[in-house]
Chain A
Amino acid sequence: MTVYIGSGAGFAGDRLDAGIPVVETLKHKDGPRYLIFEVMGERTLAIAQRIKMRKPELGYSPYLEPYLRNVLAACKEHGITIVTNLGNANPLGGAKRTYELAAELGIEGLRVAVVLGDDLLSFMDADEIADLPTVEGISIDGKEIIAANAYLGARPVADAIKLGVDVVLVGRTTDAALVLGPLIHEYGWGLEDWDLLAQGTLAGHLLECGGQVTGGYFCDPGFKDVPGMDELGFPIGEIEADGTVTITKADNTGGLVNRATVTEQMLYEVHDPSAYLTPDVTLDISNVSLADDGKDRIRVTGARGAPPPKTLKVTVSADGGWLGESEMIYAGPNALARARLAADIVRTRVTGHGVSEPVRVEIVGTGAVYDNDASDRERAKNMPMDGEYRLRAAVRSLDKATAQYVNDEVLSLFCSGPAGGGGYRCNITGQVNTASVLVPRGPVEEQAIAREVEPS
């Protein structure tokens, strides 16, 4: 037996139609087949939680409907189980919406299950959460917590699949759990089958970012060429009972799978390759081998597993105030001198106005993204004076008026700044700050449940 797991999205904002050729390919395969959509970043839950506070029936991903609409009927017809974190902060609300969509599409007999229990605020009070040890990010002490969600592992995902449903909607699990869950269910891997769990987790890590393993976010023309990126084929993992993983992609699509694409994705967001921590297993990829297995097929073996940590990671979110950004462009002869004068004017004005927050004033076109807040590199460099340079100012403040004020200083350059500025753009966006904290497993995992949702 081979288990086939395809990816339809690697982030919220991925192509809405990428899943269609994946389903088209999966439906011709013989064996258990799954389609995953991974759509959650660190800030997703805080944003979803805020939406849910305003409208309790919402808080599931706004992408649930557009992604599922394209594949739901075909998946139901061909027995391809959808496993996804499109549930965001409200998997139950997402289930209700999925049933409505099924009715609209004329799909009969659809069954949906959810995984619940990642939301710490539903069973811990905020003070208890604030006392948990922070490993990364802001100090949450004294801040109002918007969301606090533990990364659950693959076990509850496997439990949900076991219910025999067509769609599993989860909130915060590890991304890899969307892949490891089906494998635990299909192969009955045990709690201490460390090397198998490691291979399954690695399969999840390779598939969770969608096209990033098939040539997306990889192509560098003339160096790493990728064909047909306008129709990039999303990945399919073929996983054997012994844990061997073959990464390939949807038929009749663009993109490619080779050692280079797989290696780049394997190390993506990895720190110590011998200890990638998940709730299911500590993954060691330091001895992983890749083997060519035909066109667009790479076989991946050799992941090792060790027991997971005794704690779960929790992302805690708090209000992060406002980010103001504003830009003005200068072009043609002496453009850099004019942009530099504009930058100096803005710096002097905001300092004079008493803005206490750091304000970054930089010149795009001089390597600004590699520079620091003080533009030290730009000052030291001899850039051509003629050309096209874009002034950019950015500030973070708890006070929206400060963000507006800095934007307005850039705007005022139109009539009071150097000659020839144009193309003013600005925005002010609400920010969410996050911290990673650790929580003991037991009390949280007791809350984690999988259950089928009845159509209303």
Chain B
Amino acid sequence: MSDMITVPLHAVAHGRTGDKGNRANISLIPYVAAAYPLLQEQVTPERVLQLFRHKGATDVKRYDLPNLTAMNFVIDNALEGGVNSALSQDLHGKTLSFMLLGEVEVTVPKSCIPAGSRYL
């Protein structure tokens, strides 16, 4: 298994945050479709909840869209009250997708990372 590599999600996938009230959604889309089942296995709602718990997150649901090789995480109460009451610089939580990409690590074959990536 020497071709396996442990990297931040950012090496393998991209995503975008949206917000509604105090609920955020983060999409997660692998660059290489072969990574999709590995992400389904490794990026569990529990791990994502753990990541955002210090901000007050109470629940994470993951919706899988295999047709789009994408998943959608819906995170309750991760926005410190959202635009109504947050004191963060980023009231909408728009930066949170890159927190997920940067701080959750996955173990994947090197072939799941686009050629020329600085993670290789």
Contacts and interface: CB of A to CB of B under 8 A. Distances in A.
Contacts of B84: 137-138, 320, 433-434
A136 B83 contact: no
Given A360-B87, A373-B80, A434-B84, A264 B15 contact: yes
Contact of A372 (B27, B55, B63): B55
Given A223-B117, A272-B74, A217 B16 contact: yes
Interface in A276-298: 285-290
A364 B21 contact: no
A448 interface: no
A401 interface: no
A427 interface: no
A422 interface: no
Interface string A231-275: 000000000000000000000000000001001111111111110
Nearest to B93: A369
A286 B65 contact: yes
A136 B65 CA distance: 26
Interface string A311-340: 000000000100000000000000000000
In this complex, the interface size class of chain A, counting residues with CB under 8 Å from chain B, is: 35 or more
Contacts of B65: 267, 273, 285-286, 288
B87 A396 contact: yes
B19 to A, nearest CB: 7
A270 B72 contact: yes
Contacts of A364: 89
Contact of A224 (B14, B87, B103): B14
B74 to A, nearest CB: 5
B63 A272 contact: yes
Contact of A267 (B21, B27, B54, B90): B27
Interface in A382-408: 392, 394-396
Given A263-B68, A267-B72, A377-B54, A368 B22 contact: no
Interface residues of B, number: 41
A137 to B, nearest CB: 5
B31 to A, nearest CB: 8
Given A43-B83, A360-B87, A433-B84, A288 B67 contact: yes
B88 A369 contact: yes
A264 B29 contact: yes
Interface in B11-42: 14-16, 18-23, 25, 27, 29, 31
Contact of B67 (A223, A302, A376, A396): A302
Contacts of B22: 136-137
Contact of B68 (A271, A290, A360): A290
A270 B18 contact: yes
A369 B72 contact: no
A209 B77 CA distance: 24
Nearest to B51: A370
18 contacts: A136-B20, A137-B82, A260-B31, A263-B29, A263-B68, A263-B70, A267-B16, A267-B18, A269-B25, A270-B72, A271-B20, A272-B61, A286-B65, A288-B65, A320-B84, A364-B89, A369-B90, A434-B84
Given A272-B74, A372-B56, 11 more contacts: A136-B20, A137-B22, A137-B84, A260-B31, A267-B16, A267-B25, A269-B19, A272-B61, A288-B68, A359-B87, A373-B80
Interface of A: 42-43, 136-138, 217-218, 220, 222-224, 260, 263-274, 285-290, 302, 320, 358-360, 364, 368-373, 376-377, 392, 394-396, 433-434, 436
